[in-house]
Amino acid sequence: MAHYDFLIAGAGFAGAVCAEQLASRAGKTCLVVDRRSHIAGNAYDFYDSAGVLLHKYGPHYFRTNAQKIIDYLSRFTDWREVEYKILSWADGRYWQFPINLNTFEQWLGRPSSTEEMQAYLAQWRAGYESPQNSEEFILSRVGPLFYEKFFRHYTAKQWGMEAKELDASVCARIPIRTNRDDRFVSERFQALPTKGYTYLFEQILNHPLITVQLDTEFRDVAKQVTWDHLIYTGPIDDYFDYCFGRLPYRSLRFEPEIIDKEFFQPVVQVNYPNDYDFTRIVEIKHVTGQILPQTTIIREYPKACDSESEPYYPIPSPSARAAYSQYAELAERLSHVTFLGRLANYRYFNMDHVIALALSKADELVKRQGN
């Protein structure tokens, strides 16, 4: 049987970054396996029949404030710096979103100022000093009018739960501004890999000590090779054979459509909080910079996650955290296994957070190896 220093289950950011660091810094052999037919995990992108570079599993808007992450990834890619702009479709019109002074002026129907917006918000806000859930958080920031227009129904569609059933952190991720900053996110570095995410992963994994096997189930390869340490990035409940039951996840269905025009909508993403079954339409061509006569849009339909569905989002609720804690206790007892990533740690991570975790964990493993 072939032997590897590290078996890595999952070829997304967590697995790929760990493999690269262990191979290049410590000279360790790494076998990276993935049950999908491609590398890059949910960041995977590809060219469709119209020639449009698509993000297969939803838009991946890379952003970070960490220079260490920028420097690391820049070893493997050039960047196309962009600003992600989105709108929200409500009451038959486009609204600036996330909420900012421009949104307030749209509602007011005339020019305004930061001071006036702040005064209105002070009147509207509910008095939750320490919001306990997402509903309380938004009501404490903008009051019921904008909560109903932009958040309540979108959240219910996205999560299959009311905002009051979800942690405050869910809606806290969305900025609310009283200036004219209309960017979707606030990080100082906002960019996409010039040649796409898949190309970036090809460069990260391009090392003679790294072997990649696709279309491979972790459990199958575990019977065919030996290894010293396992890095597992899949669902933690799956690893333990669901001994405490399945953890709740939210899944998605993606509906692509090629449109015979240069662009379909004004910006890369339009949210649909109150109309239709889908939550958003993404037209990634707005930020990839492609010049093509056709475009492709993708409608996203949230759905419950079952045994046949792809788990995308851990459910950020108290009951789900309690269920995960049982698996986390089992994981802590396994010194030869590292659980890493959104599914393995049952936590919503942005890409830069996953990369930072992978770099930190790889550094720990390198030092443990005495290198």
Percentage of residues of the chain with pLDDT beyond 70: 99
The one-letter amino acid at 39? I
CA-CA distance, 206 to 109, in Å (whole number)?
55
Q: Coil, strand or helix: which one is 16?
A: helix
Percentage of residues of the chain with pLDDT beyond 90: 94
**Closest Cα partner for 316 from 253, 272, 250?**
250
Cα–Cα distances in angstroms (integers) from residue 207 to residues 22, 54, 219, in the given order: 11, 26, 24
Cα–Cα distances in angstroms (integers) from residue 341 to residues 16, 41, 59, 365, 367, in the given order: 11, 11, 18, 16, 21
Q: 2-39+205-246+315-368: what CATH class?
A: alpha beta
CA-CA distance, 279 to 154, in Å (whole number)?
6
What pTM was computed for the model?
Answer: 0.95
The DSSP 8-state label assigned to residue 308 in this structure reads: T
Encoding tokens for residue 4? 């590897």
Tell me, what's the pLDDT at 370? Answer: 64
Please count the residues of the chain: 371
**pLDDT for 97-132, tens place per residue?**
999 999 999 999 999 999 999 999 999 999 888 999
**Closest Cα partner for 279 from 95, 146, 154?**
154
Q: Evaluate if residue 369 carries a pLDDT over 80.
A: no
**Closest Cα partner for 301 from 269, 272, 279?**
279
- Contact in structure between 327 and 237 (CB atoms under 8 Å): yes
Domain boundaries, the chain: 2-39+205-246+315-368, 86-172
Q: Evaluate if residue 186 carries a pLDDT over 60.
A: yes
**pLDDT for 9-21, tens place per residue?**
999 999 999 999 9
According to the 3-state scheme, what is the secondary structure of 167-202?
CHHHHHCCCCCCCCCCCCCCCCEEEEECCCHHHHHH
Higher per-residue pLDDT: 79 or 308? 79
Encoding tokens for residue 232? 């597992």
As a whole number, mean pLDDT of residues 151-166 equals 96
Order the strands of the 280-282 sheet from edge to edge.
93-97, 86-90, 269-271, 280-282, 295-304, 249-259, 313-314
Tell me, what's the pLDDT at 129? Answer: 83
Find where tokens 């697995």 sit: 15
